Amino acid sequence: MAAAVARSLNRLALRGLPSLTAAQNFLAAAPSPIAPAGAIVPSFAIPPLPTGHRVVDASPARPARRMLSTPAGEDHEGQNVSHAMEMLSRADAVCFDVDSTVIDEEGIDVLAATLGKGPEVAAWTAKAMDGNIKFEDALAARLDIIRPSRGDISSCLEKHPLRLSPGVDRLVEALQGRGTDVFLVSGGFRLMIEPVAERLGVSVENIYANTILFDEDGGYAGFDATEPTSADQGKPKALRTIKAKYGYETMVMVGDGATDAQAKPPADTFIGFGGVVTRDAVREKACWFVRDFETMISIVKTGQ
């Protein structure tokens, strides 16, 4: 967990957000992770692949995963890569997590850092995304630490606009260009996600996220616990709602966290994203694990 917190805090430090000293103090007190003992992993077959692809063995230094290589030599990692690629090629809906997937940081960590609570909140975020604690407990704990007012959120977004991950705008454009609907399904906050959706051309009606409640003076008054994404197993609930409402035949979930992996099913495949942070639990569960969006863009544009 300390490594994940370090990555989050280093990103905040690079943005000039407070406080690097507090971050270093936090990490110094965190226990060092113990690496699991390596094991020899036998090779194994994967399902039939498109013509021109070849199978390569998973690295013996890692738990067994299926690897696929393209003719150009690019390796693709996951439990069922060819199926994930096929589902993406014909999906009529793609659902994206937002934090550390659509954007290259955790929105709640950025907000916490602007309020001087970065290290405390980053620790809870790492635990939640690694699946080590129920999401609703982590959400409540983080909000209780920062208690953001409406003005705090507006000021944060004005001073530190959330940054898109490289290539995600082109991926969304390609999906929408072929008639695939795009949804943002996030454990983050609607107020912070709406500007991101606007930049991507995604309707606010296609946002499934958490709602912070404010009192009449704009002060923090809690969060809406009825939102499906406010609790563990919330993303499967959100995707079931989307599928039932629109009648989609093929849905894909893309994200970096354990809560995203939970969304298959009802998603037909789960594409894990490691372009911002790599989480072992997500790599193990992903049908296809990617570190950028370039191959996904190519599949969407060409259908293969």
Which has more pLDDT, 22 or 262? 262
* Residue 229 confidence (pLDDT): 84
Catalytically annotated residue among 97, 181, 232, 268: 97
5 within 8 A of 29, measured Cβ to Cβ: no
Catalytically annotated residue among 57, 75, 92, 99: 99
Tens digit of each residue's pLDDT (9 = 90 or more) over 65-122? 455 544 344 578 998 999 999 999 999 999 999 999 999 988 888 888 889 888 888 8
Catalytic-residue membership of 137: no
Tell me the one-letter amino acid at 236: P
pLDDT band at 136 (very low <50, low <70, confident <90, very high): confident
Catalytic-residue membership of 109: no
Please tell me the pTM assigned to this model: 0.74
* Residue 36 confidence (pLDDT): 41
Tens digit of each residue's pLDDT (9 = 90 or more) over 173-195? 999 999 999 999 998 899 999 99
